[in-house]
A and B are shown apart, each in its own frame.
Chain A
Amino acid sequence: MLSCREVSRLYSEQQERKLSLLESVNLRMHVAVCSACRQFGRQMTVLRTMAQSYARSPDSKQNSEGDKSGPDDPRP
């Protein structure tokens, strides 16, 4: 059985490459009984979505043109 540390590594690598059949099977066996790693797996997908929307959104930090949809400038 894979450890949680190994499972988290595989979930991260799954964002980069297709896992081997053996890796996928081991991963599924682990998350069948480990809710923390199941959450981790979901969150990796969410993290990518977040990073992409962040990078594509207009940002008042650099754009001082009064864009109201971007995040507020957290700096003084």
Chain B
Amino acid sequence: MATIPNTEIPTTDSGTRIDSADLADPQFLEPLRLQMLKFAALQLSDPDLAEDAVQEALIGALKNANAFGGRAALKTWVFAILRNKIADVLRKRQRLNEVSTTSDEDDDLDRFFVSDGHWQRNARPTSWGEPASALESRDFWRIFEACLEHLPPQQAQAFMMREFIGLDSPEICSELAIGMSNLNVMLHRARLRLRNCLENNWFAPGESSC
């Protein structure tokens, strides 16, 4: 089981010890590591590669730990390193060619809305009852994961940066080199798809009320 090597504190080039209270603090580090792992695993569809990428990103950040002013800056930095590592792997796999095109995205909204902007009958949101109880169910999380995996890659990436890692919109825009309206479009579509997937597979399977 790969964990962060806390027995081996990396040293700077000059040989002095890194002393970063934040990265040494398991209360801070462990949640961050888990968030990054979830992100990486879903992006790479490979838990081992994800584990490696996260570990490299954290070690990379440790080497530069002294340069950080605060936890928010550190988190953004660790995550930027992680995204580069993921992008390398994906590039090697030629998967970047698969990112969704505009025509895919047009289809997206047609799945949910008719031309006058009303909900498609089978995509109309219905009540989720007591959604909090779903959070206790392992089966629910399996569905949740499967729904995330079915998002187009770019939408999934934007959604996870926002909701898993908790980066704010301007940070995501600069990371992905896109404009705010473009990001909003991606997040809107991701949320529509996820919502629909969760409803059809968990909250109201087989139901298409009108």
Contacts and interface: CB of A to CB of B under 8 A. Distances in A.
Interface of A: 3-6, 8-9, 12-13, 15-17, 36-37, 39-40, 42-44, 46-59, 61-65, 71-72, 74
Given A4-B119, A36-B119, A71-B141, 5 more contacts: A39-B125, A50-B144, A54-B141, A62-B38, A74-B142
A17 B38 contact: no
Main secondary structure of the interface of A (DSSP, over half): helix
* Interface SS majority for chain B: helix
Chain B interface residue number, banded: 35 or more
Interface of B: 1, 31, 34-35, 37-39, 41, 47, 50-51, 109, 112-113, 116-119, 124-128, 131, 134-135, 138, 141-142, 144-146, 159-160, 162-166, 169, 184, 187-188, 191-192, 194-195, 198
A62 B125 contact: no
Closest 4 A-B residue pairs measured CB to CB? A3-B117, A51-B163, A55-B164, A71-B141
B31 A56 contact: yes
Contact of A54 (B38, B51, B113, B127): B38
Contacts of B131: 43, 46, 50
